[in-house]
Amino acid sequence: ALITSKKMFQKAYEGKYAIGAFNVNNMEIIQGIVEAAKEERSPLILQVSAGARKYARPTYLKKLVEAAIDDTGLDVVLHLDHGENFEICKQCIDDGFTSVMIDGSKHPFEENIELTKKVVDYAHKRGVVVEAELGKLAGIEDDVNVSAKDATFTDPDQAVEFVERTGVDSLAIAIGTSHGAYKFKGEPRLDFERLEKISHMLPEFPLVLHGASTVIPEFVDACNKFGGNIPGAKGVPEDMLRRASKLGVCKINIDTDLRLAMTAAIRKYLVESPDVFDPRKYLGKGRDAIKDMVKHKIKNVLDSSNTL
């Protein structure tokens, strides 16, 4: 069935593991993810961005996720990723999503609170949970000073006030991760001191890590070897993600690593099988690669196997 993340996060918090939130936009991606979760007996969140809704169209995505639930018997959280205003959150809640993110991180503190609270009020009346974001995602550059970090990263005192005043169910924080395949120019670094402070000040409260792909070199290299051109890509090392999930992080967002896995597999297959023009053949390779990547995440990063 479609469920909320409430109990999932409670269990993950206590067990010091994390739930993978995987971005989806087509059938092969959804199938690869749910097959991996089923085999690993792992909980999961499927999340849909505004761009994904536009690409696949809302009805298709909803029905594909329902089909995945029918087919696997799994309980799935259907989550809106980075809802930028009240209207898209309302639309998804009305469409049957069990979780929405209102991303007011670009607004000043008070406006973020006001917007988030409005979504929380609408969602909670309908049994839907809400994720919000405080702070701006950005890497730590070596030459960035403390005051610049304080201006972008999540302030622990503000986080407490934000959670209290909005009644939000989970909070995405900024501690040095960023979206996409180019997260760090130099050595990867996260502000664990800040994370510890936030999680200490918000006991039992689920934190969310966006921009948490590892950008595994093997997959970047495979893309580049078979005609791609994505030089200098770098992500969050797996040991840092495991460390974060022991410090109150209950949801880890993964999109880029799925994109890289699928693209590497399809590039390789097309180059090695020039006679093939049946989309099922190469999309099938893409689906297998998604499944392998999600299994890898569940086992080596999230530690969520056998927790259902």
- Which of 70, 75, 81, 142 is flagged as catalytic? 81
Nearer CB in complex with ligand 13P: 52/93: 52
CB of 38 to Zn ion, least distance (A): 25
**Phi and psi at residue 29, in whole multiples of 5°?**
-65, -45
User: Which of 118, 84, 77, 125 minimizes the C-alpha distance to 101?
Assistant: 84
157 catalytic per annotation: no
Residue 82 as a binder of ligand G3H (CB under 6 A): the answer is: yes
Hey, what's the torsion of the CAs at 46, 304, 301, 34, to 10 degrees? -30
Q: 200 labelled as ligand-binding?
A: no
Tell me: does residue 268 bind Zn ion (CB under 5 A).
no
Structure tokens at 77: 């959280």
- The answer to the question of residue 287 lying near ligand G3H (CB under 6 A) is no
Residues paired with residue 2 on neighbouring β-strands, in sequence order: 76
Q: Are 99 and 131 in contact (CB under 8 A)?
A: yes
Beta partners for residue 78, in sequence order: 46
Is 124 annotated in a binding site? The answer is no
Task: Please report how close the Cβ of residue 101 comes to ligand G3H at its closest, in angstroms.
Answer: 10
Residue 5: closest CA among 49, 45, 46: 45
Q: Does 257 appear as a known binding residue?
A: no
Q: How far apart are the first and last CA of the chain?
A: 14
Tell me whether residue 255 or residue 303 sits nearer to ligand 13P (CB atom): 255
Instruction: Summarize as ranges the residues that interact with ligand 13P (CB under 6 A).
Output: 23, 81-82, 179-180, 210-213, 253-257
Instruction: Summarize as ranges the residues that interact with ligand G3H (CB under 6 A).
Output: 23, 49, 51-52, 81-82, 179, 255
Catalytic site residues? 81
Could you list the residues known to form a binding site, using ranges: 82, 103, 133, 179-180, 210-213, 253-256
